[in-house]
Amino acid sequence: MKQSKWITAVTLAALLLGGIPSAYAAPMYNPSDGITAGSEKSDTSKAKADIIAKDIQKVNKARGDSLYSPLYNNRSEDREALAAIAAFINTLQSKGTPYTLTEEESDSHRQSFQLRMSVEQKDKPDIRIMLYNTDTLVFGEDAYSYKVQDAKLAKFFMEQFQEAQEPKLPSSVSFGESITIKGASSGSESGTVDVFLMPAPPWESFTSANGIEYPANNAIWLYRSITEFGRYDFTFQMPAYGRTLDGKSVAIKPGNWDFAIHVTTYMMAQSVMIKPASDPVLALQGIPLANAKPQIRQGKTLLPLRLAAELTGHDIIWDQRHRRVGIDTDAKLLAASPASRDIEVWLAGKPVKTEIAPLLLQGTVYVPLETLTAHLGVKAEWMAENRVVNLSLPTVLLKPDKHTNDADVHDMLQLLNEYVKQYNAHNEQSIKPLFNNEIKWARSFAYRPLFQHT
């Protein structure tokens, strides 16, 4: 669909300008002497060069609070549209006559509700274009100083604003439910998108210790994504926990909230009803796990054993023939006795008693929640109000003195421990400086794939 839109734009430009190839060489109007490019004049009164598509770095579009996807030369999908806009501007300039806006027409508030386009060029002034009325445009370098009355050109200009990218936020959402947010930002080429919950406006600006800008001092941060070429499109699951301005992790209660989206310099909010999960949801540190759902049997909550074992650093094997699952257990021990009727769980070479028999469901063994907390050190919380089982894992750090006598390796392990602590605390501002030093191994360590996202 996007490709079709741009082809239509180019086709329209061809109709307006008598063919795209000749449009690129459209004559330029010089308001100082009324000549066109190509006329013989002295260097002191020479006409300006045509706008060349490759020199356009970015095109911003605006009208009131509406958001439109910007066009970037660095984005290959936008180049055909930029070529059409370059041809359009060349024709505008060939037909333009000098014009000075009245005081009323110059009012910034009034202009904010008009269709406006800003064209950023490489090493040249920006070109600003505004729809004056249904068949007239005003334009100029950094100011509206020329006017063109041409219904076809005005129509082409208006067609560039057909695709407003207002983010759509849900009016209600349950814990664990997927939320997709898509929109546009006219700010920088790349940036961040933060999602918050807050009880209600008014908005203010507060910056947390890890550099996140909160819309209110009682807002709860939920999620961060990125913008690329002024666009964002991401999906996350409604978490059971969020992070406050002072860095604390807090449980989110069902009820009426405001969803707030902060994109670079833009903020919007919408009322939302947060509802309990329809089915129990399993979360890790408050973040829902999409492919691991709790099971309820005989009034007990059962969780996937393999998931819990791997999260806590244990080795796990499944002996299907003997219906035994072993954690840190030799496979020979699991096969040493006849198959059991019910599934057995073995830990460190010994069978473990469970309150009810483990459940085998679609190839996954589920065990009672109490088994995980008692034997694997997993902390679990049943959030009845949300219908969420939240698992908490302790931060496991390495012991450098135990692993190596090499000084450099020792320092690397300490650096890794500090990284893990700061990462778990969501303290982005403290992560980057860990690798900003003159130690050669630290610099190379920082650029390994594990750390590329920092």
What is the pTM (predicted TM-score) of this model?
0.68
pLDDT above 70 covers a percentage of the chain that reads: 81
317 pLDDT more than 90: yes
Pick the range with the lowest mean pLDDT from 114-123, 204-213, 273-282, 368-377.
204-213
pLDDT (tens digit, 9 = 90+) per residue, 321-353? 999 999 999 999 999 889 888 999 999 999 999
Going by their DSSP bridges, the two strands 29-30 and 35-36 should be labelled as: antiparallel
Query: Does the pLDDT value for residue 440 go beyond 50?
Result: no
Tokens of 31: 């308001």
Distance, CA of 427 to CA of 421 (rounded, Å): 9
Of the listed ranges 47-61, 276-290, 303-317, 335-349, the one predicted with least confidence: 47-61
The per-residue pLDDT of the chain, averaged, comes to: 80
pLDDT at 8 over 60: no
pLDDT of residue 240: 92
Helices 2-17 and 151-159, interaxial angle, to 10°? Answer: 170
* CB-based contacts of 446, cutoff 8 Å, min separation 6: 434, 435, 454
More confident residue, 99 or 186: 99
What per-residue confidence (pLDDT) applies to 100? 92
245: amino acid identity, one letter:
L
Q: How far apart are CA 134 and CA 78, in angstroms?
A: 26
Q: Is the peptide bond before 202 cis (omega within 30 degrees of 0)?
A: yes
State the SS3 of 375-427: HCCCEEEEECCCCEEEEECCCCCCCHHHHCCCHHHHHHHHHHHHHHHHHHCCC
Rounded CA separation 204/306 (Å): 45
Structure tokens at 415: 């650096």
Average pLDDT (117-142) is: 93
Nearest to 198 by CA among 267, 286, 266: 267
Of 417 and 9, which is predicted with more confidence?
417
* Structure token digits, residue 108: 């910034």
Confidence of residue 42 (pLDDT cuts 50, 70, 90): very low
- pLDDT at residue number 220: 94
Q: Going by C-beta distance under 8 Å and a sequence separation of 6 or more, which residues neighbour residue 340?
A: 322, 323, 324
List the domains of the chain with CATH numbers: 2-159 (2.60.40), 172-275 (2.70.50.50), 281-392 (no CATH), 400-451 (no CATH)
Write out the DSSP string of 206-255: EE-TTS-EESSTT-EEEEEEEEETTEEEEEEE--SEEE-TTS-EEEPPSE
